[in-house]
Amino acid sequence: MLSVEQALEKILGYVDVLEVEPRPVLDCLGQVLAEDVYSTINIPPLDNSAMDGYAVRAEDTRGATEQTPRLLRVIDTVAAGSISECEVEPGTTARIMTGAPVPKGADAVVRFEDTDETQRQRVSDEIGILREAKPGQDIRRAGEDIARGSLVLSREVVIRPSEVGVLASLGRSKVKVIRRPVVAVLATGNELVDINQALPKGKIYNSNSYSVAALVQRYGGIPKILGIALDSESSLVASLRKGLDADMLITTGGVSMGDYDVVKDVLVKQGEIAFWTVRMKPGKPLAFGMVKGLDEAGVTRNIPHLGLPGNPVSAMVTFELFARPAILKMMGKKNLAKPVIEAVIEEPIVNSDGRRVFTRVIVGKRSGLYFARLTGPQGSGILTSMSLANGLVIIPEDKPGVEAGDVVQVMMLDWNEEMG
């Protein structure tokens, strides 16, 4: 039986980084930048005011105090977005708003609070400066954030909201990124009914297609839901074909030892099969291979196929462990691991058969320490336990269990922002 690491290494050996394409900046959130981005402009483009106030020649304010204001003649008012035609000559000043370009001649800004503006009853062409200004005071220099010609973002950077903002500040509407993988999602099982239908006796709703598609989306891929295949080779082959134009195919169910578990049989016939069991719980049966065939447009395809177990919890846990890193690798990401923290476990967990156990827990923080408690019964069909959990405690295969109070490793599924 393969270990989790061995299985993951094999899978990653079959997936490649995808191609580069130009995309509108707002579509690139979470994608990897595929070009070095240089600035063609200075940011800010001109020296401008950091305050609402008066643009002055600093030397004109020498000796100014509340008792001995320095009086200056107001020659103009400059708003952000406009440029003053005037020059601030000795003895004069221009009223200026935050972000407005500093007029010629001025070398400092005195904020309104340090003038007598509010004490004056009516708008006057004179202002009293109540405090000395140093040259450069409250002026943001041209290029102080980004200088023209400089490298602003390097390739391989993951685009977050701040990078979207930086790109927009450079006037870039599109950038080159590694494209998102399209992941075809196929549920298998005679017992399954789609969610927009009435539920006949003996059937269950297909939840896996939706939880898996949501995971694909969360990690940056584009899900393509193929619906439900029956537990027969012909149904499976017909459905698989619809997904062959994707970058990866994920099926759920049909990989165990039951009479109707035909996914692995189809993989054997229609591809390069690596069917295996992984030393983990939940999620022991897992199939992986390359599936070959003609897609619906008649083009020959050969794409990685991950056959996840059918149990709803097993499907999600194995997705996190194997499909997520594959998707991230295709997107050009380097950090493929979920964050793992140390927490104090509040209940014992038994590991009866030497597999790596992933136990659903609720992690919280008390007096600076993380604590983890079980979500309740851990059956791999209890999908609501995944909904309660924000982490998975990892019990190593060689450990018979842990006691309450032990420090354990927890793979975080969600960080606090999602958990309220």
61: Cβ–Cβ under 8 A, 6 or more apart, which residues? 70, 108, 110, 129, 131, 132, 133
Q: Could you tell me where the DSSP H helices lie in 175-274?
A: 208-218, 233-242, 263-269
Q: In this chain, which stretch among 106-114, 219-227, 266-274, 304-312 interacts with ligand AMP, using CB under 6 A?
A: 304-312
Q: In this chain, which stretch among 70-78, 209-217, 253-261, 379-387 interacts with Mg ion, using CB under 5 A?
A: 253-261
Nearer to ligand AMP, 254 or 271 (CB): 254
CB of 3 to ligand AMP, least distance (A): 21
Q: Are strands 108-111 and 53-56 parallel, antiparallel or unpaired?
A: antiparallel
Contact status: 208 vs ligand AMP (CB under 6 A)? yes
Q: Is 409 exposed, middle or buried (0-12, 13-18, 19+ CB in 10 A)?
A: middle
Nearer to ligand AMP, 221 or 312 (CB): 312
Q: Tell me, by CB under 6 A, how many residues bind ligand AMP.
A: 19
Contact status: 207 vs ligand AMP (CB under 6 A)? yes
CB of 197 to ligand AMP, least distance (A): 14
CB of 252 to ligand AMP, least distance (A): 5
Q: CA–CA separation, 308 vs 213, rounded Å?
A: 13
| Residue 206 contact, options Mg ion, ligand AMP, none, Cβ 5-8 Å cut-off depending on partner type | ligand AMP
Nearest residue to 229 (alpha-carbon basis) of 194, 259, 267, 272:
194
Contact status: 312 vs Mg ion (CB under 5 A)? no
CB of 292 to ligand AMP, least distance (A): 23
Nearer to ligand AMP, 65 or 234 (CB): 234
List the one residue from 50, 71, 83, 204 that touches ligand AMP (CB under 6 A): 204
Contact status: 223 vs ligand AMP (CB under 6 A)? no
Nearer to Mg ion, 195 or 369 (CB): 195
What phi, psi does 58 have (nearest 5°)? -55, -40
Contact status: 69 vs ligand AMP (CB under 6 A)? no
List the one residue from 101, 253, 307, 325 that touches Mg ion (CB under 5 A): 253
Contact status: 206 vs ligand AMP (CB under 6 A)? yes
309: Cβ–Cβ under 8 A, 6 or more apart, which residues? 252, 253, 255, 256, 282, 283, 284, 285, 286, 315, 318, 380
Contact 232, 266 (CB under 8 A): no
Nearer to Mg ion, 254 or 289 (CB): 254
Nearest residue to 152 (alpha-carbon basis) of 40, 41, 39:
39
For the window 167-196, what string marks contact with Mg ion as x by the rule CB under 5 A? ----------------------x-------
Q: In this chain, which stretch among 66-74, 151-159, 206-214, 269-277 interacts with ligand AMP, using CB under 6 A?
A: 206-214
Residue whose pair of structure tokens reads 């200026």 in the numeric block = 96
Contact 220, 178 (CB under 8 A): no
Q: In this chain, which stretch among 107-115, 167-175, 187-195, 296-304 interacts with ligand AMP, using CB under 6 A?
A: 187-195
Q: CA–CA separation, 253 vs 46, rounded Å?
A: 62
Q: Which of residues 254-293 bind ligand AMP (CB under 6 A)?
A: 254, 256, 258
CB of 199 to ligand AMP, least distance (A): 12
Contact status: 310 vs Mg ion (CB under 5 A)? yes
Nearer to ligand AMP, 310 or 391 (CB): 310
Contact 20, 34 (CB under 8 A): yes
Give 176's strand partners.
Answer: 22
Tokens encoding 235: 């149904």
List the one residue from 127, 187, 229, 395 that touches ligand AMP (CB under 6 A): 187
Q: Which of residues 345-364 bind Mg ion (CB under 5 A)?
A: none
- Beta strands of 126-245 (E only): which ranges? 126-129, 139-140, 151-153, 174-178, 182-188, 192-193, 204-205, 222-229
What phi, psi does 192 have (nearest 5°)? -90, 145
What phi, psi does 389 have (nearest 5°)? -80, 150
CB of 231 to Mg ion, least distance (A): 6
Q: CA–CA separation, 151 vs 160, rounded Å?
A: 18
Footprint on this chain of ligand AMP (rule: CB under 6 A)? 187, 189, 191-192, 204, 206-209, 252-254, 256, 258, 309-312, 381
